[in-house]
Amino acid sequence: MTQPEWIAEPQSPPSYLNDGYGWRSWFLTTDHKRIALLYLLSITGFFFLGGFFAMMIRLELLTPQPDLLQSDTYNRFFTMHGVIMVWFFLIPSIPTVLGNFLVPLMVGAKDLAFPRLNLLSWYLFMIGGIVAFSAIVIGGVDTGWTFYTPYSTTYSNSHVLWMALGIFIAGFSSIITGLNFIITIHTMRAPGLTWFRLPLFLWSTYSTSLILVLATPVLAITLVLMGLERAFGIGIFDPALGGDPLLFQHLFWFYSHPAVYIMILPGLGVESELISTFSRRNVFGYRYVAMASVAIAVFSFLVWGHHLFVAGQSVYIALAFSFLSYLIAIPSAIKIFNWMATLYGGSISFETPMLYALFFIGLFTIGGLTGLFLAALGIDVHVTDTYFVVAHFHYIMVGGMVVAYLGGMHFWWPKISGRMYPERFGQVSAFLIFIGFNLTFFPQFILGYLGMPRRYHTYAEGFQTLNVMSTAGASILAVGYVLPLFYLGWSFFRGPLAPANPWGATGLEWKTASPPPTENFEETPVVTEETYRFPVREEMLV
Amino acid sequence: MSSNVYPAAHFRSFDQQHEASELGMWGFLCTEILFFGGVLCGYTMYRLLYPQAWVHGSELNSLWLGAAMTVVLLASSLTMALAVRAAQLGQSKAIVVFLAATIALGVVFLALKGFEYYGHWVHHLVPGFNFSGYQAPDHPQVALFVVFYFFLTLLHAVHMIIGVGVLSVIAILAHRNRFSAIDHGPVEIAGLYWHFVDIVWLFLFPLLYLVGAHQ
Amino acid sequence: MRFYAGIFGALLVLTALTTGVAEIDLGALNSPVAMLIAAAKATLVALFFMHLRWSGYRMRFAAAAGLLWLSLMFAFVLGDMATRNIPAQPAGWNEAAASAARSPLK
């Protein structure tokens, strides 16, 4: 005999994954955790699309001759690699997936401040993504991801307007997400959760959101101006009609330089969480690390002119930009040194997230230091538009951001899916990515320094050895990226169930079930102490 | 429909909800400042490069029409502020009246704007389509000014149209007694948006109409 | 209500002032005066119609952040434009270098 329904009421509320089935419960959800999963699926798709273009580029560069791609196709492929990876993977990656999932959990709230806007943001992102994707399908764009005028406005025969429209729409998604995070962190913190008790991931997400909110509108308006000039032949950036092409570059980089900090800052936040959890120590100099995030966000707006060193801007302003570009090394270095000091004397264990965290420190340091070369006016003239810049950029973006993203994905995977991933597979793929990444991009530093220009599908015979190494590395990297797709996918449905706090981590997100219920917490948590207070392990006392 | 007794489920109190929505609107206005700011930066740069062309360009606009539009918009800001005040006092009827006045003034502004655009169109003063109406010196640079004129005012007009739409929805909600003295966030934040669009115009007026008025 | 009407009156006076002053040629002061009046009007609207006068520090902070970032953009872009055509070498620099190279001390 079946029990009446009111007796069968469960003890604890269902997890967010089981709270409703069917497409409506996903596509019309306002639950930040479900939206995070929607984002996860979409940006994973874009990541492999962008990766496909990267792989084609590397295959073409296996030989000095043009065999696989002709010049026009090659131009389109590197442009689409850049556009997809920058706007549809790197910028949304950590903020929209981990940020969406974790910000309300970490502040002890039931949801973000504006749940419906959050869903709108995903729809805008997808509309922008589909418009951009259709631009690729109908023939693509060949201007480079920077859309420099006058090529983009006057000479290019590709689908510039359509692609710019996609980015414009996706930009509003960024703005909404950024606003949502800022307001949530300001107004929805749990009782007792003061600013200096916030996890460092929130500090970096907050700083990232500041950039999203302050910089993205400038990109939007710049793309509109560029589009109008292309469509109507008016001369805002056209010297023949009294315009100034450098104005485009100024406005574009006013957004796009801060944008590279949008891409890396969340990674720095993830890094602080991983390092402290897996060395079981409070982050050394917590306040300095927190403030360094804000400082990076502010400084990021003062350095954009280092992209214009050889473009004809005033040498005096270039001097100022060069100096300010050096300054940004200070907060970055504070973070690196503080992580090292956190590790020192810690009780370190080497689970997959920690492997990623340690790789991150090395790769980000190389990327950051080569950034200083590029901030130096004289050296920059030598290496501008060479593979040196490509290598530097990828050390920060792939070696830094993607590694941090994967580290964070593995770290919070038990919380997101409620299941553990296979540890051995995780470690293998982390090592594959580390080896493959260095093999791909370290040779490019040398190539660039020797003078191989970027954005050409052919090169001098003498560069072939290093290019072959690079392409070989890219193949290893590809395997390293595909592996997590499979074992995380398997784990989502079949992995062993995860406890609420598998890593013994601090932070409010670990104080609720894995996966969390829709309301996140059964009752509003009250915070009474600083974060990263790890209990002393019994075995350490023996 | 009647006003809510409880705040939205994920907020602890009306105070929290209200603070979040107000701060959210201010944050959005902050992005709007930079949205318009990018164009204004280009405007300023070219104005410093081509001061004479800017004088010629702004003479193509009617000073008095611009001043009239300013007054209409300021009046709409006054009625908007009064609508917010009515909302704070919980007077639903007064909200509807003042919002209707605001919408009407907004529409008058847009009509004047359309009249002005029509004048530019018939005099062939639209760069990108037909700019043969202007034949005097600095032709391309004056065209650049007119491009900025059209772009800035169109951007502003689009914001006005969105504002009129938002206020209409809110007026309907107020008519259905959706708002109360403790729960009237939407009226306030729509007001913030409307006032901001007004402020943008307060700067566009001297930038686009007054540059060459003394000559 | 009377208070808001007073603000509105002040805004109308400022509008009349800026329109009237624009008819007079103030030379280099034309545009600063116009912008100053516009800023004064904007301040009135922000402080009283938008209630910034009575708002918490966060709202003021948000408004100030937008203006601060805008001024950064203006400062660098206009700084570039203003100094772009000043030659980096003083006049006669090459001659000086050449004569230094010829100097007996070398």
Give the model confidence (pLDDT) of A494-533 as tens digits: 999 999 999 989 889 999 998 999 999 988 899 988 888 8
Contact criterion met (CB < 8 Å) for B74 and C12: yes
Residue A537: per-residue pLDDT: 54
Of B143, B98, B27, nearest to A181 by C-alpha is B27
DSSP codes of every residue in C33-91: HHHHHHHHHHHHIIIIIS-GGGS-HHHHHHHHHHHHHHHHHHHHHHHHHHHTTS-SS-T
Residue C106: per-residue pLDDT: 44
Which of A175, A182, A189, A214 best tests the C interface by mutation, with the highest count of C CBs <10 A?
A214
| Distance from C-alpha of A127 to C-alpha of A116, rounded to nearest angstrom | 16
CA distances from A475 to A140, A362, A398, C99 (A): 25, 21, 15, 58
Length of chain C equals 106
Place of tokens 């315009």: A243
Nearest-Cα residue of chain C relative to residue B49: C81
Contact criterion met (CB < 8 Å) for A313 and C77: no
> Looking at beta carbons, which residues of chain C come within 8 Å of A251?
73, 77
Of B32, B21, B2, B40, nearest to B195 by C-alpha is B32
What's the complex ipTM? 0.92
What is the Cα B82 distance to its own chain's centre? Answer: 18
The vertex-B13 CA angle with B7 and B18, nearest 5°, equals 75
Checking if the pLDDT of A373 tops 80, the result is yes
Identify whether the C-beta of residue A485 lies closer than 8 Å to the C-beta of residue A421: no
Which three-class secondary structure state does DSSP give residue A496?
A: coil
Checking if the pLDDT of A202 tops 90, the result is yes
Locate B101 and state its tokens.
Answer: 């006045």
Residue C94: per-residue pLDDT: 67
Place of tokens 């004064």: C40
Can you tell me the mean pLDDT for A262-274? Answer: 95
Checking if the pLDDT of C97 tops 70, the result is no
Label residues C64-77 b or e (16+ Cβ within 10 Å = b).
ebbeebbebbeebb
Of A510, A499, A493, A496, nearest to A422 by C-alpha is A496
Which three-class secondary structure state does DSSP give residue A268?
A: helix
C95 to chain A, minimum CA–CA distance in Å? 22
Chains touching C by CB (3 or more pairs below 8 Å): A, B
Residues 84-143 of B with CB under 8 A from A: 127-129, 140-141, 143
Low-confidence ranges of chain B (pLDDT < 70): 1-3, 214-215
> Looking at beta carbons, which residues of chain A come within 8 Å of B141?
242
> Looking at beta carbons, which residues of chain B come within 8 Å of A193?
none
What value does the mean pLDDT of chain A take?
92
> Looking at beta carbons, which residues of chain B come within 8 Å of A110?
9-10
Can you tell me the mean pLDDT for C31-45? Answer: 92
Q: What percent of chain A has pLDDT over 70?
A: 97
Label residues B121-132 b or e (16+ Cβ within 10 Å = b).
eeeebbbbeebe
Identify whether the C-beta of residue B84 lies closer than 8 Å to the C-beta of residue B187: yes
CB proximity A321 to C under 8 Å: yes
Which three-class secondary structure state does DSSP give residue A194?
A: coil
| Distance from C-alpha of A199 to C-alpha of A506, rounded to nearest angstrom | 9
A317 to chain C, minimum CA–CA distance in Å? 6
CA distances from A256 to A220, A231, A252 (A): 11, 23, 6
- CA torsion A308-A311-A317-A321 (nearest 10°) is 20
Number of Cβ within 10 Å of residue A23's Cβ equals 7
> Looking at beta carbons, which residues of chain A come within 8 Å of B41?
247, 250-251
Identify whether the C-beta of residue A219 lies closer than 8 Å to the C-beta of residue A163: no
Identify whether the C-beta of residue A31 lies closer than 8 Å to the C-beta of residue A111: yes
Q: What percent of chain A has pLDDT over 90?
A: 83
Locate B175 and state its tokens.
Answer: 């008519």
Phi, psi of B91 (to 5 degrees): -100, 90
Residue C59: per-residue pLDDT: 87
Residue A468, Cβ density class (10 Å: 0-12 exposed, 13-18 middle, ≥19 buried):
middle
* CB proximity list for C61: less than 8 A, separation 6 or greater: none
Locate A125 and state its tokens.
Answer: 């992102």
Identify whether the C-beta of residue B36 lies closer than 8 Å to the C-beta of residue B196: no
Residue A154: per-residue pLDDT: 87
Contact criterion met (CB < 8 Å) for B20 and A218: no
Greatest CA separation found in chain B? 66
> Looking at beta carbons, which residues of chain B come within 8 Å of C68?
none
Locate A46 and state its tokens.
Answer: 């874009």
Identify whether the C-beta of residue B71 lies closer than 8 Å to the C-beta of residue C9: no
In DSSP terms, A419 is beta-bridged to A497
Identify whether the C-beta of residue B7 lies closer than 8 Å to the C-beta of residue B17: yes
Identify whether the C-beta of residue A328 lies closer than 8 Å to the C-beta of residue A372: no
* CB proximity list for C31: less than 8 A, separation 6 or greater: B206, B211
Name which residue leads in pLDDT, B34 or A19.
B34
The vertex-B143 CA angle with B61 and C24, nearest 5°, equals 40
Calculate helix-pair angle for A464-494, A423-450, nearest 10 degrees.
160
- Per-residue pLDDT tens over the stretch A380-407: 999 999 999 999 999 999 999 999 999 9
| Distance from C-alpha of A178 to C-alpha of A96, rounded to nearest angstrom | 9
What's the one-letter identity of residue A454? R
Of A438, A419, A89, A534, nearest to A267 by C-alpha is A89
Contact criterion met (CB < 8 Å) for A187 and B34: no
Nearest-Cα residue of chain B relative to residue A110: B10
CA distances from A358 to A288, A401, A456, B46 (A): 20, 13, 34, 50
> Looking at beta carbons, which residues of chain B come within 8 Å of A112?
10
Contact criterion met (CB < 8 Å) for A235 and B35: no
Of B26, B40, B67, the CB nearest to C62: B26
Greatest CA separation found in chain C? 86
Of A247, A301, A314, the CB nearest to C72: A301
Q: How confident is the model at residue C104 (pLDDT cuts 50, 70, 90)?
A: low
